[in-house]
Structure 1
């Protein structure tokens, strides 16, 4: 792979988020900033609210600024961001996700004279839809990043961003860390029967992830597969509600709320299938982590999920909200060990080829450096970062 054109001094790049809890987008950001080439980019992170657990970890390595937004409609956040960007001599700002950080971050960046303004987006709908005010700032933005090809198409066709400004940088996972392992060892550590059939869901406990469907389906699955065990990995505001629902469904002895884990890769090694029941998604990291561990995925066919969960190739797809479809797809996998093995192996193979962490990092390095120095030629593999051209897509 050819190297990027070098800058005389590294670019100072500020990534702006709301906070850094343990979640998919936040873990992606942490992995990204850790791997960026320090000869090219010096990263910093700014959190509108508190740092969160991942921010507390990251502050040991790079500057992490926090508590810039006092209340929801705190207009002083604009001055604080402007001052931060001026004081830190920021060359490029990357807002991560929609909402307040996307609006205030881009506005402050232009007021501060920041050379490059990029908005990276990770979802296709509520609660992360872009919104009218954010669309009004499109002229202030040099690039928008989608995390899958269909996600980028959504940004053009549904959000109305100019096709020439929309780039695709696939989410990436550390395939050396997320890999197959000793299933029985992990099951012993978690107190799971060695002969159980384990289904996991890896997602924040928020409404859009639709854990209720997962639990309702689990009750049906248990009626057909008495050895079934269910792992809920993640935390969030709905935990108490979901624990009560599990009890009401008679699942308290087979459902394990594991909370946020720093050893997700280990937990996945003992799982037979990973489920995703969300109402909307772009390209979930949890899918890539599961596939990288050779675990097939049963997922609602929403957003760009179909680009990673290919029905009959790396997993099974069902219609969003279809509980019976979820149950049928999951039982198909649990009943057929040979099929699980085949789909899991193909999933890992495709993850290594298309969704590695290295590819994602190189994509961001290439995009930031090329925008900071427009005359420089962007040299990057076509499957790592792509631009939606006006010839193939129509901007609204």
Structure 2
């Protein structure tokens, strides 16, 4: 084709509350003409209703698309996706997450989709898995690479790891940062965010001048919330006025609660559950901690940077893309509760250091503008379609306007 509407179908395993899911929803809701976006995902995510409410974006929930490995169900998902692509005939299929990435790319190949893009938000394998399982997952990713026109990496660390493992061919990958709405987190002159921060402190019964340390993450092994609890127990011993919050939920919630009680943090460390007012949470914090064992590129870091919150984080994967130890944040080894605690205590005892590190960290913020993220994806789609002979690869120039609207939302 040389003109007209470009149908782009995004596929993600499940719409849980997380960076990959939030950015996928933002992208499909903000693609401009000539693009018409649609979304395919499994059911059961916290963001399902938000997806269904996106104006003009058809959403298809596939019961066969689930996160656990279920061979027969996965084959049904492959069949269902291929049928959907043959019916809807998208010019671009853009996949996210490991399960949807492998099945979606294979289905796109079966359906003859001309352009297939996959975003690496982090890999489904890690160094803590048993070697045979990790090898099998790497092999699957290598196989899916054959069905991929272009990769997007959100962090340079993941880009380099993908190339080193033979998953991402050189010349077929582009670095596009996972964006955030920067203005929503910048507290300078933003009364709403500041009021939200005060409201959160009031909600948990914390004086406005008491030190507050927080973690914003899903309570799962990757984010290592138990090490966060251990570290905060050390901080509490050194600074009795300090209080702690975790914004997030997940499979380790009961274990985290038990560890809090065992370490004497009951009443001092509050589990807030899932929160949608993350700008307000950030505005309330004095220090943010990221204790992850591995990452893609954690959106919580640019969110904290935009809010002016100093950070103590583990030096893993995309974290090192964002922060430089001792320059724009404090980095430590994953699993090291003592080092995390030491960094937090150092920042709470030296607010000038915290402000200095947070100020320097702002240098990376332009890379994380969420609208620039969408525009970069649009440009990539046009480039790939032009190379595939599907349309003239004209530059976007000053083209504006909303994406063409589809007629119905599927459930």
Which ranges of structure 1 fall in alignment gaps of 5 or more residues? Answer: 1-5, 382-396
Out of 155-164 and 67-76, give the one that drifted further. Answer: 67-76
Q: Which residue of 2 aligns with 1:87?
A: 87
Q: Which residue of 1 aligns with 2:50?
A: 57
The answer to whether residue 209 in structure 2 is matched with residue 202 in structure 1 is no
Q: Encode CA deviations 1:349-372: one digit per residue, 9 max, x unaligned.
A: 531x22111221111111112111
Q: Encode CA deviations 1:367-391: one digit per residue, 9 max, x unaligned.
A: 112111227558699xxxxxxxxxx
CA contact (8 A) 1:291 1:314 kept: no
The answer to whether residue 83 in structure 2 is matched with residue 76 in structure 1 is no
The answer to whether residue 38 in structure 2 is matched with residue 44 in structure 1 is yes
In 2, the alpha carbon distance for the partners of 1:220 and 1:133 equals 42
Residue 10 of structure 1, CA deviation: 2.6
The answer to whether residue 300 in structure 2 is matched with residue 307 in structure 1 is no
1:185/1:50 CA distance change after superposition, 3 Å: closer
CA contact (8 A) 2:145 2:167 kept: no
1:134/1:354 CA distance change after superposition, 3 Å: closer
SS in 2 for 1:140: coil
In 2, the alpha carbon distance for the partners of 1:380 and 1:278 equals 38
Structure-1-length-normalised TM-score: 0.88
Residue 51 of structure 1, CA deviation: 4.9
Q: Which residue of 2 aligns with 1:178?
A: 185
In 2, the alpha carbon distance for the partners of 1:378 and 1:118 equals 19
In 1, the alpha carbon distance for the partners of 2:35 and 2:65 equals 30
In 2, the alpha carbon distance for the partners of 1:380 and 1:271 equals 40
1:354/1:50 CA distance change after superposition, 3 Å: same
In 2, the alpha carbon distance for the partners of 1:328 and 1:365 equals 44
CA contact (8 A) 2:279 2:307 kept: yes
SS in 2 for 1:42: strand
Residue 201 of structure 1, CA deviation: 0.7
Q: Encode CA deviations 1:82-106: one digit per residue, 9 max, x unaligned.
A: 11112222111111021x2122111
The answer to whether residue 370 in structure 2 is matched with residue 370 in structure 1 is no
1:216/1:378 CA distance change after superposition, 3 Å: farther
1:380/1:240 CA distance change after superposition, 3 Å: farther
Out of 67-76 and 25-34, give the one that drifted further. Answer: 67-76
The answer to whether residue 28 in structure 2 is matched with residue 29 in structure 1 is no
1:162 maps to which of 160, 164, 169: 169
Alignment RMSD = 2.2
Structure-2-length-normalised TM-score: 0.85
SS in 1 for 2:305: helix
Q: Which residue of 1 aligns with 2:236?
A: 222
Out of 68-77 and 165-174, give the one that drifted further. Answer: 68-77
Residue 124 of structure 1, CA deviation: 4.4
SS in 1 for 2:258: helix
Q: Which residue of 1 aligns with 2:266?
A: 252
SS in 2 for 1:144: strand
1:31/1:120 CA distance change after superposition, 3 Å: same
Residue 278 of structure 1, CA deviation: 0.9
Q: Which residue of 2 aligns with 1:385?
A: none
CA contact (8 A) 2:156 2:175 kept: yes
CA contact (8 A) 1:155 1:166 kept: no
CA contact (8 A) 2:180 2:303 kept: yes
The answer to whether residue 364 in structure 2 is matched with residue 329 in structure 1 is no
Out of 80-89 and 201-210, give the one that drifted further. Answer: 80-89
CA contact (8 A) 1:178 1:289 kept: yes
Q: Which residue of 1 aligns with 2:103?
A: 104
Q: Encode CA deviations 1:20-45: one digit per residue, 9 max, x unaligned.
A: 011121112122222221x1321111
Residue 342 of structure 1, CA deviation: 2.1
1:137/1:24 CA distance change after superposition, 3 Å: closer
Q: Which residue of 2 aligns with 1:392?
A: none
Which ranges of structure 2 fall in alignment gaps of 5 or more residues? Answer: 188-192, 398-411
1:152 maps to which of 159, 175, 179: 159
Q: Encode CA deviations 1:259-283: one digit per residue, 9 max, x unaligned.
A: 1111111111010111111111121
CA contact (8 A) 2:215 2:288 kept: yes
Q: Which residue of 2 aligns with 1:261?
A: 275
Q: Encode CA deviations 1:287-308: one digit per residue, 9 max, x unaligned.
A: 1111111111110000021121
Moved over 4 A (4+): 127-130, 375-381
CA contact (8 A) 1:171 1:357 kept: yes
